[in-house]
């Protein structure tokens, strides 16, 4: 029995991790919509959702319920196979791409060491690009199958945009690959740990790295291309409301629409995770290794959030606010105390804590841009991609390899 267990341990571990990851990802997606509405509302001097639950925190649940209960009519004249395939394909590929992201260092459970992520492939970055390459089909098919000219235009715009910016995105990463000498995302993160200078040894700065070279240009190209890949403002031409109704998902309703929606937010998540891993040190702390007191930052954050929740509950008049909010606040403080008292647990939390903090910063930046920037015109989009971003990312590859060659010990 025990032998069989050790033989299939990796499979069991993988299944458990997949279930947990999918659950977390869907929750994060849901609350990302809440965050987006809230942040944009505050940018525009509004309140955003605040009726459903404290701070409108139950709004995603209400939205989800609405998606499930809505009628799902199939328009006439659609291509059935492609019409039904498109949302599933989009969501499947979006969630699959998260499987190769390492969220933290390897850890031990019941004496079994496993990696903090689902798959640790030694070509993980290529796998990610392969999945990105395939995810064009979901959007293109949705646009074509809907039998609607706006959908078709949206789908075509999206395919053209994704093909154009995929090149710049792939090339912008080459600099990091040159420094790391490794295709594995875990390897890329581990290589950024040294020489223990905290955030200065991350690939974006790459200071004191022997023969590395700062990847600011690479990051700049990567992030712009990534925004274009995920069809977000200012590159959201495939679903430009004022021109195309809603672009490729005009004819989709109910859960099928929600699938496109979830896929878009998951893609944002993946892209932010990848930016974190490649340029910002993944799960590594931004402080030098000698600053040991920084390991109590998660505790401090939990204390702050808990105190804020309790303080905010004072003004609430509903039962929910008066009972649940102080409860949640107290729970946060208790978890903080537990973390501070159990060193093993605190050590385990460090990696994911920093990873989540960095990814959150990127997601916030995404939303910030949506609240700030206008949309590109289509010819501007193409000119920018091909005549500016692509040459700059090629120049980054040449520059990085030249500097590395020059500084390499001979």
In the complex with other proteins, the residue whose CB is nearer, 63 or 166, is 166
- How many degrees, rounded to 5, is the angle at CA 245 between CA 242 and CA 247? 110
Cα separation, 199 vs 286, whole angstroms? 4
Q: What span, in angstroms and rounded, lies between the C-alpha atoms of 128 and 226?
A: 13
State how far the Cα of 115 lies from the Cα of 21, in Å rounded to an integer.
13
Under the criterion CB under 8 A, does residue 155 sit at the interface with other proteins?
yes
Name the segment binding other proteins (CB under 8 A); options: 13-21, 160-168, 194-202, 292-300.
160-168
Residue in 59, 96, 159, 230 binding other proteins, rule: CB under 8 A = 159
Q: How many residues touch other proteins (CB under 8 A)?
A: 28
CA 178 to chain CA centroid, Å, is: 24
Structure tokens at 359: 């990814």
Nearer to other proteins (CB atom), residue 284 or residue 381? 381
**DSSP three-state, residue 116:** strand
Q: Which of residues 266-325 bind other proteins (CB under 8 A)?
A: none
Whole-Å CA distances, 380 to 244, 308, 346, 373: 18, 45, 49, 15
Window 220 to 249, contacts with other proteins (CB under 8 A): none
Q: Which stretch binds other proteins (CB under 8 A): 150-158, 189-197, 313-321, 347-355?
A: 150-158
CB of 194 to other proteins, least distance (A): 21
**Token pair listed for 34:** 């809440």
Q: Can you tell me the distance from the alpha carbon of 291 to that of 289, in angstroms, rounded to the nearest whole number?
A: 6
285/180 Cα distance (integer angstroms):
19
Least distance from other proteins to the Cβ atom of residue 386, Å: 13
Smallest gap, in angstroms, from Cβ of residue 61 to other proteins?
A: 36
d(CA 57, CA 35): 9
CA 20 vs. chain centroid, Å, equals: 16
- In the complex, least distance from residue 248 CB atom to other proteins, rounded to whole angstroms: 11
CA distances from 228 to 77, 135, 357, 405 (A): 31, 13, 23, 32
Of 74-82, 103-111, 243-251, 375-383, the window that binds other proteins (rule: CB under 8 A) is 74-82
The window from 26-34, 152-160, 248-256, 335-343 that contacts other proteins (CB under 8 A) reads 152-160
Stretch that binds other proteins, among 39-47, 78-86, 97-105, 205-213 (CB under 8 A): 78-86
Contact track, other proteins, 119-148, x by CB under 8 A: --xxx--xx-xx-xxx-xx--xx-xx----
Task: Evaluate the CA torsion angle 386, 389, 395, 400 in order and state its sign.
Answer: negative
Query: Contact between 176 and other proteins (CB under 8 A)?
Result: no
CB 179 within 8 A of CB 400: yes
Which tokens sit at 86?
């498109």
Is 183 a binding residue for other proteins by CB under 8 A? The answer is yes
The binding track of 22-41 with respect to other proteins, each residue x by CB under 8 A or -, is: --------------------
Measure CA 253 to chain center: 25
- Considering the complex, what minimum distance in angstroms separates the CB of residue 401 from other proteins? 12
Largest Cα–Cα distance in the chain? 72
Closest contact distance (angstroms) between CB of 268 and other proteins is 20
Site string for other proteins, 326-365 (x = CB under 8 A): ----------------------------------------
Give me the residues that bind other proteins (CB under 8 A), please: 79, 81-82, 85, 121-123, 126-127, 129-130, 132-134, 136-137, 140-141, 143-144, 152, 155-156, 159-160, 163, 166, 183
């Amino acid at each position: 029995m025990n032998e069989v267990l050790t033989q299939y341990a990796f499979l069991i571990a993988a299944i458990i991790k997949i279930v947990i990851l999918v659950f977390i990802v869907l929750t994060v997606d849901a609350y990302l919509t809440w965050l987006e509405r809230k942040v944009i509302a505050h940018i525009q001097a509004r309140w955003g959702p605040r009726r459903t639950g404290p701070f409108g925190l139950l709004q995603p649940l209400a939205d989800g319920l609405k998606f499930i209960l809505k009628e799902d009519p199939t328009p006439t004249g659609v291509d059935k196979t492609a019409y039904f395939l498109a949302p599933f394909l989009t969501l499947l590929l979006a969630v699959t791409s998260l499987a190769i992201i390492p969220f933290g260092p390897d850890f031990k459970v019941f004496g079994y060491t496993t990696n903090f992520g689902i798959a640790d492939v030694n070509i993980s970055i290529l796998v990610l690009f392969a999945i990105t390459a395939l995810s064009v089909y979901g959007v293109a098919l949705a646009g074509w199958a809907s039998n609607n000219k706006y959908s078709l235009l949206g789908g075509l715009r999206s395919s053209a945009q994704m093909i154009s910016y995929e090149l710049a995105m792939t090339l912008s990463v080459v600099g990091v690959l040159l420094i790391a000498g490794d295709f594995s995302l875990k390897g890329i993160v581990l290589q950024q740990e040294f020489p223990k200078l905290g955030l200065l040894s991350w690939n974006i700065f790459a200071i004191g790295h022997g023969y590395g070279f700062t990847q600011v240009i690479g990051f700049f190209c990567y992030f712009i291309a990534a925004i274009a890949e995920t069809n977000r403002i200012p590159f959201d031409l495939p679903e430009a409301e004022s021109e195309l109704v809603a672009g490729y998902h005009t004819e989709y309703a109910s859960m099928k629409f929600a699938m496109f929606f979830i896929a878009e937010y998951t893609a944002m998540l993946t892209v932010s995770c990848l930016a974190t891993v490649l340029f910002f040190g993944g799960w590594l702390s931004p402080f030098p290794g000698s600053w040991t007191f920084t390991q109590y930052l998660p505790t401090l954050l939990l204390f702050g959030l808990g105190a804020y929740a309790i303080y905010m509950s004072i003004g609430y008049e509903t039962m929910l606010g008066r009972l649940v909010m102080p409860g949640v606040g107290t729970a946060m403080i208790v978890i903080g105390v537990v973390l501070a008292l159990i060193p093993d647990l605190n050590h385990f939390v460090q990696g994911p804590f920093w990873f989540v903090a960095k990814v959150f910063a990127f997601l916030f930046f995404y939303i910030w841009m949506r609240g700030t920037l206008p949309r590109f015109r289509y010819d501007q989009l193409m000119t920018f991609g091909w005549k500016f971003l692509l040459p700059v990312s090629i120049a980054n590859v040449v520059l990085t390899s030249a500097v590395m060659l020059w500084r390499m010990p001979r």
